[in-house]
Structures are given as C-alpha cells and as structure tokens.
Amino acid sequence: MFSFLIGLLLMSCNKDDEANAQSFQKDFIDLGTHKIATYSIETNSNYLVVFESGLGDDHSVWQTKKVAEKIGKDISVVLYDRGGYGKSTIDNNVRNVERLTLELEAVVNKFANGRKVILVGHSLGGLIIRDYAIKNPNKTAGLLFVDPSHEHYNQPTQEIEDIIYNAFKSSYGVNSGATREVRELIEDFAYISSLPNLPDIPVVVLTSMKQDQSNNTSDQTYNKIRQDWYDAHELLKNGVTDFTHIQTTASGHYI
C-alpha cells in the first residue's frame, strides 16, 4: 500500500502527462439540511481516492494541475465541495471538524461501494481526514497529507482567529463555508489534539519547507519556524508502522 500511495504522489507531480484526462460526473448528495456537490470518475478499481480541500478552497483546487484527472485514469476518484463552497449549499449548524467529517463520511458512503478509501487532505483538510480515519479505521486504506494543518503548530489566539475571520468575511461573505469554518479554528485544534493516534495504516506526509511569503507569514503569525512545521507533521507517525515523510523546498503550501 505504501508503494501505491507513492505512485499517487508521483502521478500528481508529473506535469508532462496531460493526455487522456477523463471527465467528471457531477452529482449532489442530499443531507436533508443541505446538499453537497460531488465530482467523480469511476474506474471500477479496488480502491476509491477522496480529495479533501483546505480552508477557502473548493474541489477545483485539485484540478489546477490536473492532479485528480491523472489519478482518475487508473483509480476511482471523488472531489467535492464542503457546505458553503462551490455549488454546495450550507446548513445552520456550526462548521467544525466533527461536522465536516460527517460530510466526508456521506461522500465516502455514496461512492465507496464497499471499497476502502485513500484520503488525500490539504491544509485544514488534513484535520478532517485524520478525524475520519480515526473513527473509521476499517474503511480507510491509507492517508496522503499535503502540507496539513497541525495543532502543534497552528495554535490561534482569539485575536488571530478574529483577523482571519474578518479577512474571509470581507472576501467571501459572512455565510460562506470558509468564513464559518474560520470561526471554529480554536475549537477545532483543541478537538483534534484530544484524538488518539492515527490507525496503523500507510501514511505519507508532504511538508513544504520553502521560504516564501506565505510560509514566512504563517511562521510569524504563530511565532514558529519551518522546522516547527516539519516537527508537527512528524508527530503523525505515532503508532504508524508504514510512514513516509517527504519535505520540499521547491514548493509552497500548495504543493
């Protein structure tokens, strides 16, 4: 399984292979309170790959370099918009990690058809796939973390959360999924820190060590350095026997 996850990584990094990209099937999952927009490619493969975007990003972030399309040539994939992003509607519940995990679970339940899932999570999406895997170890085949948020690095004060919240409210509106997710950041990192270790399944972590404006601003905000970011990601190996940690100085947060 480790070699398979690495294969996904290499396919996503190959910028030259643009041929034979498949089209996504668009659909909606009705949760009763709101609807989740999904974009899938079915190949009748043994596994299903589900992509979880970071804060402020809808499903299309995974299509910027045709990452999902390339992987979709060989294995079934699903992209989706969390509530309040893209074509998805939103409910009135708090938008914390536990609530977001329920949306991921609904996506998995619709598309897995008995298959185990490989979850790919970027940034805040890393918290969501952690929560899902811990709660559903028998349904999860492996995890690929792309520069994930982590409670040992991301420790927002109320002042920091307010600054981020006001910026998102100005850009996206008060009722967007992104803005409402920001309002739960302090609670989210407290919650995720209370969870046990990941299940003993294959885990790959990609960490950006690049000294660029985005990473430097993040380090300054949290009074950290890049090594703290790497060390936080290294903690994801606790309890995991098949763990690979890859760092890059060539790519920023959007590896």
Task: Output the pLDDT for position 18.
Answer: 43
Task: Output the pLDDT for position 16.
Answer: 42
Q: Distance (Å, rounded) from C-alpha 137 to C-alpha 140? A: 5
Positions of the chain with pLDDT lower than 70, given as ranges: 1-22
% of residues, the chain, pLDDT over 90: 90
Task: Output the pLDDT for position 31.
Answer: 98
Task: Output the pLDDT for position 130.
Answer: 98
Task: Output the pLDDT for position 22.
Answer: 63
Task: Output the pLDDT for position 228.
Answer: 98
Task: Output the pLDDT for position 216.
Answer: 98
Task: Output the pLDDT for position 95.
Answer: 98
170's CB contacts (< 8 A; 6+ apart) are none
Instruction: Calculate Rg over the CA atoms of the chain.
Output: 17
